[in-house]
Amino acid sequence: MISIKNLNKFYGSSKVLNDISIDIKAGEIFAIVGHSGAGKSTLLRCMNGLEEYSSGSLKVNSKEIKELGKEQLRSFRKNIGMIFQHFSLIQRKNVYENVALPMQLWGYSKDEIDKKVKELLSLVGLKSKLNSYPNQLSGGQKQRVAIARALTLEPQVLLSDEATSALDPNTTTSILNLLKKINKKLNITIVLVTHEMDVVKQIAQKALLLEHGNIIGFDNTEDLFLKPDEKMKEFLGEVEVVPKKGVNIKLYFPKKNAHKSFITTMARELDMDFNIVWGKLEEVNSHIIGNMVINVKDEEEQSVIEYIKKHDIVWEVL
Ligand SMILES: Nc1ncnc2c1ncn2[C@@H]1O[C@H](COP(=O)(O)OP(=O)(O)OP(=O)(O)O)[C@@H](O)[C@H]1O
């Protein structure tokens, strides 16, 4: 659906995107993650032609964006909805009028507009608010209006630039659930930019980690969190404090066996006591994944490793 190859972007002499290559599949929920200034919004804006790229290729539905003329770009953008952190609603228009606006600009009939706006307001749970004005709505409600407005022209792709950053955690979850529902129901590809790892965990199937315009991680979300590499750990701010004595073994539990009592069974079968240094289970993309560090005596290392190898567990000696 979106294919990016060796993309580079400069602002003047400063390079803000460096050799980016990714593929985003149709129907996927894809997150672009990174600290402030990493280049996330720039990359997102390149995807709908709001920003020009300096070199490389960016194709949406096999169309190279930089080769599109003015008119082609206008109809191309019809196929891409966008939502923002601060909602971008028009204050003097009510909810109905805000949502109707893109269809009016494209010259749809009153009946078509009325049908679509009511259908979308019902989808986002705001049918009772169609006469309200933005200043009478909560942040979450405003974002729901913005989502409805972004869907009026029936786009195949929805781009979200920090759409939940101004919302509290509960409202964030409800907006993310709405985005999941839209993704499933309308089969829309969603690309979202965020600096919040919790957002990535809750919604994304794939994630791209950016740092100073460079890709420092790109994988299925579960794999990124299950076995984070050094860069990812640094990004997550994880510090692993482990005992100096003995051998520290880190175990990664993928979704299918995160719940199994692997450690206690191993302890019983090998007739050994382990020191559990730390461990955690977390929900990523609706799956439970986890990891745990155990400390074993030097002389027990081999038998523990042989046991782990016989099971479907990813592991490493720290
Ligand atoms: N129009 C512009 N002109 C010059 N430099 C720009 C422009 N827009 C962005 N930049 C620079 O490009 C870099 C990437 O900016 P971008 O907004 O893409 O980052 P970001 O990861 O989205 O950050 P944030 O989360 O703070 O929005 C930054 O160093 C920024 O200062």
The pLDDT of residue 259 is: 54
- The H or E element spanning position 248 is strand 247-253
| Residue 53 near residue 112, CB atoms below 8 Å | no
| 2-232 and 240-317 share one fold | no
Mapped onto helix, strand or coil, the DSSP state of residue 129 is helix
Name the superfamily (CATH) of residues 240-317: ACT domain (3.30.70.260)
The pLDDT of residue 280 is: 79
Nearest CA to ligand 1 atom 24: 36
Measured from CB, residues less than 6 Å from any atom of ligand 1 are: 11, 16, 34, 36-42, 195
Segment 180-210, tens digit of pLDDT? 999 999 999 999 999 988 899 999 999 999 9
Nearest partner of 1 among 49, 37, 47, judged by Cα = 47
The pLDDT of residue 178 is: 95
The pLDDT of residue 172 is: 94
In a structure prediction context, what are the per-residue pLDDT tens digits for the chain, which is 318 residues long?
999 999 999 999 999 999 999 999 999 999 999 988 999 999 999 999 999 999 999 999 999 999 999 899 998 999 999 999 999 999 999 999 999 999 999 999 999 999 999 999 999 999 999 999 999 999 999 999 999 999 999 999 999 999 999 899 999 999 999 999 999 999 999 999 999 888 999 999 999 999 999 999 888 888 888 777 878 777 777 667 788 899 999 888 776 665 567 788 888 899 888 888 888 777 887 777 888 889 999 999 999 999 988 887 788 888
Domain boundaries, the chain: 2-232, 240-317
Nearest CA to ligand 1 atom 31: 37
The pLDDT of residue 257 is: 62
Buried/exposed 112-121: b ≥16 CB within 10 Å, e otherwise? ebeebbeebb
C-alpha of residue 44 to centroid of ligand 1, in Å: 11
Structure tokens at 55: 């070199």
Residue 157 has φ and ψ, to the nearest 5°, of: -125, 140
Nearest CA to ligand 1 atom 17: 41
> Distance (Å, rounded) from C-alpha 47 to C-alpha 53?
10
Nearest CA to ligand 1 atom 6: 11
Residue 198 burial by Cβ neighbours in a 10 Å radius (0-12, 13-18, 19+): middle
Domain 2-232 is in which class?
A: alpha beta
Q: Which is the closest atom of ligand 1 to the Cα of 12?
A: 4
The pLDDT of residue 255 is: 66
Q: What share of the chain is helix, strand, coil (3-state, %, to 5)?
A: 40, 30, 30
